[in-house]
Amino acid sequence: MKTPPLSIFLFLLASFFGALGQFLYKSGAERATGGALSYLLNARLLGGVACYVAVMVLFVAAFKRGGALTTLYPVYATTFIFAAFIALWAYGTPIKPANVGGMALLIAGMYFLGR
């Protein structure tokens, strides 16, 4: 089954939203005080939830257009790459050579899994 490029793009976009959601969960948790309202009324945590809803909508849209699970799900592994760049931007977390190597292995794995 040939996977349409649009389906792959939608999974890449979902991957970005997944990483953004992780960042929003982390930064929202840092601001929460521990009470129930500090979680329920926390804009960052709510933004994280919205990101994960967007991920599911993008998954459904991609699957509707067709494509193999074995091609699309490995693309979602780019979430880890996006998360590294968001961490660099938001927290100054350095991306080390070992991280770059891991990213290269992820990309190679996605390529081989999708073939």
End-to-end CA distance of the chain: 11
- pLDDT computed for residue 105 by the predictor: 93
More confident residue, 81 or 38: 81
State residue 18's pLDDT score. Answer: 96
**Cα–Cα distance for residue pair 17/115, rounded to 1 Å:** 25
- All structural domains of the chain with their residue ranges: 5-114
Question: Could you tell me which residue, 71 or 83, shows the higher pLDDT?
Answer: 83
Residue 1: the pLDDT is: 65
Angle at 115 between CA 95 and CA 80, to 5 degrees: 20
Two tokens at 37? 């309202």
